[in-house]
Amino acid sequence: MRTAPGAFSLPLSVDRRSASPLHRQVYDGFRAAILARALRSGQRIPSTRALAADLGISRIPVLHAYAQLLAEGYFESRRGSGTFVSNLFPSAGARPHQAYGSRIRTLPSPARRRIARLARDLAGPAKRDPWMRGQGAFSIGQPALDAFPLRAWSSLIARHCRNPLARSLLYGDAMGFKGLRAAIAAYLRTSRGVRCETDQVMIVSGSQQALDLSARVLLDPSSAVWMEEPGYWLAQRVLRAAGCRLVPVPVSAEGLDVAAGILRCPNARAAFVTPSHQYPLGVTMSASRRLHLLGWAHRTGAWIVEDDYDSEYRYESRPVASLQGLDDASCVIYIGTFSKVLFPSLRVGYVVIPPALLDSFLAMRQAMDVAPPHFSQAVLADFITEGHFARHIRRMRMLYAERREALVAALAREAAGTLRVIGGEAGMYVTVALERRRDDVQIARRAARDGLWLWPLSPAYHDPHGKAAQHGFILGFGSTPTSRIPDAVRRLRALLTRE
Ligand SMILES: Cc1ncc(COP(=O)(O)O)c(C=O)c1O
């Protein structure tokens, strides 16, 4: 029996011993694949010559089969460009077969209910919320891509793709590429005050994978976890997905209120924190709160997950050293990312693992996705060791300082009495609270119609409608040129006055 690999491995085979003639087998194979929608309208069909060669048969039966399929309307030929599957099912409702995915309806009901509930239980900002997809004034999580050294980056990509080493095409180390891990360890020791050796650094696909991995290793379903209130929605989502019980612990101007956490849940298994630059309020955890948090973790055996996502950029002082650097009992799992300092689609982050947990993290990582992809790691390692990274950070620190200053000044000029800045000493956003309680989600929806991408603050609380939830906005400035910021703030003021 021969099968037709074609461009996309057509689901087609012929059997010379079969009683059915070859042209009929080819015809039946195409017809069945089209009706089952394995082949879709507009998809190109191989030439008769190519298919005959792939199937190892003469061209005559293939010509017969094609002529029949064209005559019956399964195929259409376009002059000069080839043969294509016709549009047999103009509306989705006309599918002849049961839609794929209907199996969930046949599962026993508790399992079915659990699966159906999943999306709702994990809910955070919905994908359709306009601020999730906007690009322009105030959108968050978007660095100044126009200032990214694309030329240096592309030449490193070309270097690695032109002459790849054979071993770079094979399965890599589950901890990640050693050259990159060493470069990151050196950077973290000098710039972030992290205590680490290369062996403790694991490369992951962004902080998100590090959070997922930490939850899988450290927590059980129903483990209690302190979560900053308000906090990072994607961390909440990971912890909910792991079945944990989230214990919201309020954040004040000094960061996480450790005493309140101890009162609410003294025996939590872990705490998730962003001490260098709390997301979303933008405050920095004070030294005394840091020591209090570490003391609690040492006493109770709890873990601390430190998410240090953007603290390279700090404007009114030098970068604050990590919490992990103060930890004498190896209870901090330190997570970082290149999403802010380089660009988010790179999907490269890292986790610094306490030595006693290395084997468990390694085994879990292998179970999740085996190992990280090699090329982006090799390119990034060179980008760091050849000095581009440090230079980029220095330049971006100046650029963002200018953008932030323009934003803070415009807010003071245009929106005093309406918006109050509550945090913005670091990173690429400034958080503002509405002086008078108003519905920030509604305002953000309307702002999106004017091309202003305000990320509302209240959904970052456990109970966005509760008394404790502040209403306001997280205003990104990373991707907005300085000259456009005053106008964006004027439009924001006009919107708030109109509402
Ligand atoms: C608190 C926080 N942590 C981490 C990240 C980055 O996540 P990732 O590395 O998965 O892109 C972000 C991005 O917005 C963030 O706000």
Condensed to tens digits (0 to 9), the pLDDT of residues 122-174 reads 766 666 788 888 888 999 989 999 999 999 999 999 999 998 888 889 999 99
For 2-85, the fitting CATH number among 3.40.50.1370, 2.60.40.420, 1.10.10.10, 3.30.365.10 is 1.10.10.10
Full DSSP string of 240-259? HHTT-EEEEEEEETTEE-HH
The pLDDT of residue 221 is above 60: yes
pLDDT band at 111 (very low <50, low <70, confident <90, very high): confident
Which amino acid, 150? L
Task: Confirm or reject: Cβ of 207 under 6 Å from ligand 1.
Answer: yes
CATH 3.40.640.10 domain range(s) in the chain: 112-124+148-389
What pLDDT does residue 6 have? 47
Task: Confirm or reject: Cβ of 307 under 6 Å from ligand 1.
Answer: yes
Tokens representing 82?
Answer: 């080839």
CATH 3.90.1150.10 domain range(s) in the chain: 393-498
Give the span between the Cα atoms of 360 and 368, in whole angstroms.
12
Give the span between the Cα atoms of 359 and 366, in whole angstroms.
11
Task: Confirm or reject: Cβ of 231 under 6 Å from ligand 1.
Answer: no
| pLDDT tens string 466-480 | 999 999 999 999 999
Q: How far is the centre of ligand 1, averaged over its atoms, from the C-alpha of 91 (Å)?
A: 40
Give the span between the Cα atoms of 204 and 465, in whole angstroms.
35
- Least confident range from 64-68, 87-91, 254-258, 295-299: namely 87-91
- Cβ neighbors of 266 (< 8 A, separation 6 or more) are 300
Give the span between the Cα atoms of 246 and 226, in whole angstroms.
6
Residue of 209, 234, 429 with the most ligand 1 atoms within 8 Å of its CB, for mutation: 234
Q: How far is the centre of ligand 1, averaged over its atoms, from the C-alpha of 287 (Å)?
A: 24
Could you tell me the CA-to-CA distances from 463 to 131, 459, 479 in Å, in that order? 20, 8, 31
Tokens representing 189?
Answer: 């020791």
Give the span between the Cα atoms of 122 and 300, in whole angstroms.
29
Task: Confirm or reject: Cβ of 478 under 6 Å from ligand 1.
Answer: no
Architecture of domain 393-498: Alpha-Beta Complex (3.90)
Give the span between the Cα atoms of 44 and 76, in whole angstroms.
10
Count of positions (residues) in the chain: 499
What is the sign of the dihedral through the CA atoms of 58, 61, 63 and 66? negative
Q: How far is the centre of ligand 1, averaged over its atoms, from the C-alpha of 174 (Å)?
A: 22
CATH 1.10.10.10 domain range(s) in the chain: 2-85
Q: Is 82 helix (H, G, I), strand (E, B) or coil?
A: strand
- State how far Cα 147 lies from the chain centre: 22
What end-to-end distance do the CA atoms of the chain give, in Å?
71
The pLDDT of residue 94 is above 70: no
Given CATH 3.40.640.10, say whether it is the number of domain 112-124+148-389: yes
Residue 279 Cα: closest atom of ligand 1: 1
Could you tell me the CA-to-CA distances from 381 to 161, 450, 457, 485 in Å, in that order? 14, 41, 36, 35
Tokens representing 196?
Answer: 């680490």
Cβ(336)–Cβ(447) below 8 Å: no
Region 295-323: mean pLDDT is 92
Task: Confirm or reject: Cβ of 383 under 6 Å from ligand 1.
Answer: no
Task: Confirm or reject: Cβ of 308 under 6 Å from ligand 1.
Answer: no
Residue of 209, 232, 273, 376 with the most ligand 1 atoms within 8 Å of its CB, for mutation: 232
pLDDT band at 425 (very low <50, low <70, confident <90, very high): confident
Angle (CA) 394 398 404, round 5°: 135
Residue 141 Cα: closest atom of ligand 1: 14
Question: For the whole prediction, is pTM greater than 0.75?
Answer: yes
Tokens representing 282?
Answer: 């933008």
